Amino acid sequence: MTIASVQNLTKYYGDPESALSVRALNSVSIDFEEAESVAVCGQSGSGKSTLMNVLGCLDRPSFGRYVLGGVDVATLDDDSLSNIRGRRIGFVFQSFNLIAQLTVLENLEVPMFYQGLPRPDRQRKAMELAERVGLADRATHRPYELSGGQQQRAAIARSLVNDPLLILADEPTGNLDSETSATILRLFDDLRLEGRTIIIVTHEQDIARRCNRTITLQDGRIVQDTRN
């Protein structure tokens, strides 16, 4: 089943009619399927980050369509786009982006708070997810009391709180040693086997080979789309 689809996606920065404009994506078309892990690769400036921003509803395409869960999100107003972003997309960042003043459980509760979930339900689900990623014994610790791998596991748990259609991971092992990276990648493997769709921006070929599909961008175009 197709979870997300971009069709003839083009993204300009600046006026497309101006010589100073930058075309970051050029007529990109991709379907992302259920229970698929996709590595997005390419050199700096290839369009990886722009594609991730559009898929994450952090930016809008200049032209083309982006359909997520049957909804053409490119046509939505800002409030509706924010709602889709909060409910349908989970983010995992290289720098973890945890709130330093909050415990693991409190960090997991934040997205649920903004979705209006009652506090007892937030607390229950946060603990379930902490257990899911092996952090039950660190649930009341703050980020500075955790290792890098533990912080990334907390970030992955946070990405799952609203049962998203897509998990978007931007260089998720970039700040981790090889052993810790392997632990994080096994967690992604488990999530895919559970039916999650995961898109990983990476420059590491070992990570790309671990995914079941690799998309390579160059100058804003897809130059390779292979099944691993």
The domain that holds 185 is classified in CATH as 3.40.50.300
pLDDT at 2 over 90: yes
Residues 15-40 have a mean pLDDT of 89
Residues 37-62 have a mean pLDDT of 94
* Model pLDDT for residues 144-200, shown as the tens digit of each residue: 999 999 999 999 999 999 999 999 999 999 889 999 999 999 999 999 999 999 999
pLDDT at 140 over 90: yes
The pLDDT confidence band at residue 131, using thresholds 50, 70 and 90, is very high
With beta carbons less than 8 A apart as the criterion, state whether 184 and 149 touch: yes
pLDDT at position 21: 79
pLDDT at 20 over 80: no
| Among 71, 61, 26, CA closest to 45 | 26
Average pLDDT across the chain, whole number = 94
The pLDDT confidence band at residue 58, using thresholds 50, 70 and 90, is very high
The pLDDT confidence band at residue 66, using thresholds 50, 70 and 90, is very high
Q: What is the dihedral of CA 67, 71, 75, 80, to 10 degrees?
A: -120
Q: How long a stretch of residues is the chain? A: 228
State how many domains the chain has: 1
Residues 73-87 have a mean pLDDT of 90
Q: What is the pTM of this model?
A: 0.94
pLDDT at position 48: 95
Q: What's the DSSP call for residue 8?
A: E
Contact residues for 79 (Cβ-Cβ < 8 A; gap 6+): none
Domain extent, residue 71, equals 2-227
pLDDT at position 14: 78
Instruction: Measure the CA–CA gap between 143 and 69, rounded to whole angstroms.
Output: 33
pLDDT at 83 over 80: yes
Q: How far is CA 39 from CA 85, 111, 198, 225, in A?
A: 21, 26, 9, 10
The pLDDT confidence band at residue 109, using thresholds 50, 70 and 90, is very high
The pLDDT confidence band at residue 228, using thresholds 50, 70 and 90, is confident
